[in-house]
Amino acid sequence: EAGVAQSPRYKIIEKRQSVAFWCNPISGHATLYWYQQILGQGPKLLIQFQNNGVVDDSQLPKDRFSAERLKGVDSTLKIQPAKLEDSAVYLCASSLNTGAANTIYFGEGSWLTVV
Amino acid sequence: GESVGLHLPTLSVQEGDNSIINCAYSNSASDYFIWYKQESGKGPQFIIDIRSNMDKRQGQRVTVLLNKTVKHLSLQIAATQPGDSAVYFCAEIMDTGRRALTFGSGTRLQVQP
């Protein structure tokens, strides 16, 4: 079974530039999450989708971050304009449903460095 | 706000010894706890979980203990191996509709050969 795919794996941009990350969840998984993980910290939820609807985006900095999952499958996370403090790993995860955590699978992450 | 936290940032053990990683939580509404292992350059990997109506659960070489009285969670790894070297996170799910994970800050486990 293919895992959660993310791209690009690594990205370096200058502050005030924009960047987009792409995620392809495991086939059939209805729930998709984007997490931000700053070095030395645990992942923090940015946004949760159930199919193509947003379940929770309360921790998403909406002035610069946006995310969509138009067809209920792939998702993109965009940052515009980027700030130095956005340097982090952006993890995408998916699960069959919003229930048991042992169905939540993480991708390898997209590493962002803002200089 | 309430959050999941960890006592020690780094734990160093000898190969073959048992490891104990601790975690404190403060949200009494949490009903489900999970331990994740994260190796360098990879995403978190599920290890073991426990529901709030249990106090112990065992897996292969791992045991999770839950003490709801003091709001404490621990992960025990038996006969620690070099491949166990990683950062370990405890995470919780509160009994809310969205049921997303809230992670702690992590403990780095270093296994010395």
Q: What is the pLDDT of residues A77-99, one digit of tens each?
A: 999 999 999 999 999 999 887 66
Contact yes or no for B52/B68 (Cβ under 8 A): yes
Q: Which of B32, B45, B97 sits opposite A101 (nearest CB)?
A: B32
Facing residues of B5 across strands? B24
Amino acid found at B39: E
Amino acid found at B55: D
State how far the Cα of A91 lies from the Cα of A77, in Å rounded to an integer: 10
State how far the Cα of A37 lies from the Cα of A106, in Å rounded to an integer: 12
Q: Which of A101, A105, A109 sits opposite B101 (nearest CB)?
A: A101
Taking the Cβ of residue A26 and every Cβ of chain B, the question of whether any pair is shorter than 8 Å is answered with no
Amino acid found at A30: A
pLDDT confidence bin for B26, thresholds 50/70/90: confident
Q: Which residues of A touch B34 (CB under 8 A)?
A: 101-102
Residue B1 confidence (pLDDT) = 37
Give the closest residue to B11 by CA, choosing from B22, B25, B26, B27: B22
Q: Which of A40, A102, A108 sits opposite B46 (nearest CB)?
A: A102
Size of interface A-B (CB pairs under 8 A): 61
Q: Is residue B2's pLDDT more than 60?
A: no
Prior bond of B9 cis (ω within 30°): no
Q: Which residue ranges of chain A lie beneath pLDDT 50?
A: none
The 3-state DSSP class for residue A85 equals helix
State how far the Cα of B28 lies from the Cα of A47, in Å rounded to an integer: 24
Q: Which of A48, A56, A106 sits opposite B44 (nearest CB)?
A: A106
Q: Is residue B6's pLDDT more than 80?
A: no
Q: Is residue B3's pLDDT more than 50?
A: no
Give the model confidence (pLDDT) of B51-82 as tens digits. 999 999 999 999 999 999 999 999 999 999 99
Cα distances (angstroms) measured from residue A16 to each of A1, A13, A39, A48: 38, 9, 21, 26
Residue B94 confidence (pLDDT) = 73
Residue A102 confidence (pLDDT) = 55
Q: Which residues of B touch A23 (CB under 8 A)?
A: none
Facing residues of B46 across strands? B36
Contact yes or no for B56/B109 (Cβ under 8 A): no
Taking the Cβ of residue B104 and every Cβ of chain A, the question of whether any pair is shorter than 8 Å is answered with yes
Residue A83 confidence (pLDDT) = 97
Q: Which residues of B touch A109 (CB under 8 A)?
A: 42-43
Token pair of B108 as six digits: 């780095």
Share of chain B above pLDDT 90, in %: 65
Interface test with A, best of B35, B101, B107 (most A CBs within 10 A): B101
Give the closest residue to A70 by CA, choosing from A112, A22, A10, A2: A22
Q: Which residues of B touch A48 (CB under 8 A)?
A: 98, 100
Q: Which residues of A touch B49 (CB under 8 A)?
A: 100-102
